[in-house]
Amino acid sequence: MGREIGLCLVYRDMWQSSGKYMPRVDQLVKVAEPIIDMGCFRRVETNGGGFEQINLLYGENPNISNRAWTQPFNDAGIQTQMLERGLNALRMYPVADDVRKLMFKVKKLQGTDISRSFDGLNDARNLEKSIDYAKAGGMISQTCLCITYSKIHTVDYYIKKAEELINLGAEEICIKDMAGIGRPVSLGKIVAGIKEIKPDILVQYHGHSGPGFSVTSSLEAVRAGADIVDVAVEPLSWGTVHADLLTVHEVLKDAGYSLPGINMKAYMQVRTLTQEFIDDFLGYYINPKNRLMNSLLIAPGLPGGMMGSLMADLENNLKSLNKWMEKNNKPLLSQDDLLIKLFDEVQHVWPMMGYPPLVTPYSQYVKNAALVNVMQMEKGKARWSLLDDNTWDMMLGKSGRLPGEVSEDLKNLAAEQGREFFEGDPSELVPDCLDELRKEMDENGWDTGEDDEELLEYALHPQQYLDYKSGKAKADFETDLAQRRAEENTPPTSTIPGIDHTWDLGPKSIQVDVNGERFNVNISYDDHETSASQSQETSAAPPYANGHLKEILAPLEGKVFLTKDPSETAKKVGDTIQEGDVICYIEAMKVVNAVKADQSGTIAEVCIKDGEDIFDDDVLFKLN
């Protein structure tokens, strides 16, 4: 028998790479037992990544969830692990040092043993505190090499990066192949190089299966010395998720490695329960396309884990774009057309943006920039005519050092807009905040929780925590779920044979009961959008035909907000605005875009409501 290889079930990532939500705590606790009974896992990924935030989003307490879900594994002697984003901890933008430090302490006390830390730019500076704080909190510190594929992301580059992390005190190295585009033999060379630097360091391979390399990569990594391989289980394995346990297990056994046997009865129980959760509510947030392998992902190199949100974005953008195309008598695009254009644009802009590894949140930034570019260029506008502040910050160095160089074009654009490049330590840009938040919670009469875990959540996800506290999150979620369930029972008008179904939906009115409070919900769909009825009317009329009013149109599709935070004042009728003023915000593809007025005047009508979904070219304001 050969060397013993460990398996890690990344149950958290399985869900997050499939759709929007995670199972509820009662469901997680139910599936923990058969996962343990399978008898083949050394580790289980329980939380981190979007787990905590997702709990808040549907109105549940992530602290209760995490403690209950890690407990059975702690009891069974199976190590639990979480994913965290370094500088961004468990969210998409930087977190203060004191919050980061508290997080590792809380998570260890909640039952999570290992912290898998990554920096999306592979800038080791950003992981130094993760390593120190994880160890201080009592966790095992695992750090990641985020695998991306470009002419500068070579085998030697990654081995050197691993060495930096080891020198900073990282106890384990994860090969985080989040797009599954690491080339198998090269990945083996990287693992071999790490083992050469430090033979006893634990190496864990984490791959997604999208483009079809992951099984081969698992074998190559193990041959080169990797100790643990991450796997998924049916019905969420393959596609944008990870390779299936059964396949990886067989390949490694056939290659002569020693692995614990699988209790197949327990496997089938896990499979059945997971399907039950999908049928319960999670399936309403899973794009069936995420189950497909897709070799076209090789060229753009985007992570499978973001394909869910990407396809949703694409669908919305396609509707929006085709509306414009129709209005302008241009040929309509299919979803495939737009996808291919997007992939091409990703390949074009990625080097210009300095080759940030295609991992959250930078994969979102690159994809977002590419998609906005495509949308703008399809409508005859210039590339880069819309670029959000977060993406700028990344390019300016505020998230860490980029692996490559930002293009001259973008440097010039930065100079034009008065934006400055930053060379310092990004973690110094965010001031500590726990004292202030603790005081605030105190004043509200809120408990900071066991081990300050409620304080941590408030600090990590302030808005979501407030929405969770107020019951709004749960109400919104229940409303959305009810809407999706209602949609399911409305007839389709057209289908593509054998592959796809496009739905045409009629308006509905439903009542939702949340914590005893009754909500009346009017549901509308696509072309019958009641909220968009104003703009529907005006869009048929020629520009300026509406009396002598000028219109400011939405530059992209998304959720519109009149203000970004409570300190701002919303624009209202009678306000005078100048061309270039920020007049509202559109949240699209996980990024908030400031919308600037393209003409000056006095507001005659505010055509939008805070938080509503709009298409691009919908009228935002009418000006005198």
What does the binding site for a copy of itself look like in residue numbers (CB under 8 A)?
19, 183-186, 209, 211-213, 215-216, 219, 234, 237-239, 243-247, 250-251, 254-256, 264, 268, 275, 278-279, 281-288, 291-296, 298-299, 336, 340, 484-485, 488-489, 491-499, 501
Q: Which amino acid is at 538?
A: T
- Residue closer to a copy of itself (CB basis): 109 or 286: 286
- What residues have CB less than 8 Å from 402, skipping those under 6 apart? 121, 353, 354, 355, 356, 394, 395
Reported as type and span, the H/E element at residue 336 is helix 335-352
Smallest separation, CB 73 to a copy of itself (Å): 23
CB atoms within 10 A of CB 104: 27
Smallest separation, CB 327 to a copy of itself (Å): 26
Smallest separation, CB 13 to a copy of itself (Å): 17
Smallest separation, CB 195 to a copy of itself (Å): 20
In DSSP terms, which residues pair with 586 in a beta bridge?
Answer: 560, 593
**How many residues in the chain?**
624
Smallest separation, CB 488 to a copy of itself (Å): 5
Comparing CA positions, the residue from 248, 314, 281, 226 lying closest to residue 19 is 281
CA distances from 171 to 107, 135, 341, 481 (A): 18, 9, 42, 42
Smallest separation, CB 280 to a copy of itself (Å): 9
Q: Is 526 left (phi over 0), alpha (psi -120 to 50) or beta?
A: left
Smallest separation, CB 487 to a copy of itself (Å): 10
- Residue closer to a copy of itself (CB basis): 18 or 427: 18
- What residues have CB less than 8 Å from 100, skipping those under 6 apart? 89, 129, 130, 133
Q: For residues 389 and 88, what is the distance between their CA atoms, to the nearest angstrom?
A: 16
CA distances from 449 to 189, 438, 453 (A): 46, 11, 5
Q: Dihedral through CA 583, CA 586, CA 591, CA 594, nearest 10? A: -20
Smallest separation, CB 33 to a copy of itself (Å): 20
Q: For residues 231 and 243, what is the distance between their CA atoms, to the nearest angstrom?
A: 6
- Residue closer to a copy of itself (CB basis): 215 or 606: 215
Smallest separation, CB 239 to a copy of itself (Å): 7
- Residue closer to a copy of itself (CB basis): 255 or 570: 255
Smallest separation, CB 145 to a copy of itself (Å): 17
Q: For residues 301 and 563, what is the distance between their CA atoms, to the nearest angstrom?
A: 35
- Residue closer to a copy of itself (CB basis): 149 or 422: 149
- Residue closer to a copy of itself (CB basis): 49 or 182: 182
- Residue closer to a copy of itself (CB basis): 490 or 539: 490
CA distances from 475 to 51, 513, 613 (A): 19, 8, 18
- What residues have CB less than 8 Å from 62, skipping those under 6 apart? 47, 51, 52, 53, 54, 55, 56, 457
- Residue closer to a copy of itself (CB basis): 336 or 598: 336
CA neighbours closer than 13 Å in the CB half-sphere of residue 422: 16
Smallest separation, CB 477 to a copy of itself (Å): 15
How, if at all, do strands 576-577 and 619-623 pair? unpaired
Q: For residues 506 and 488, what is the distance between their CA atoms, to the nearest angstrom?
A: 11
- Residue closer to a copy of itself (CB basis): 2 or 580: 2
- Residue closer to a copy of itself (CB basis): 205 or 615: 205
Smallest separation, CB 579 to a copy of itself (Å): 42
- Residue closer to a copy of itself (CB basis): 198 or 253: 253
- Residue closer to a copy of itself (CB basis): 237 or 316: 237
Smallest separation, CB 54 to a copy of itself (Å): 17
Q: For residues 11 and 15, what is the distance between their CA atoms, to the nearest angstrom?
A: 7
Asked whether the beta carbons of 115 and 107 are under 8 A apart, the reply is: yes
Helix spans in 113-167 (H): 125-136, 155-167
Q: For residues 379 and 328, what is the distance between their CA atoms, to the nearest angstrom?
A: 9
**In degrees rounded to 5, what are phi and psi of residue 614?**
-130, 155
- Residue closer to a copy of itself (CB basis): 507 or 543: 507
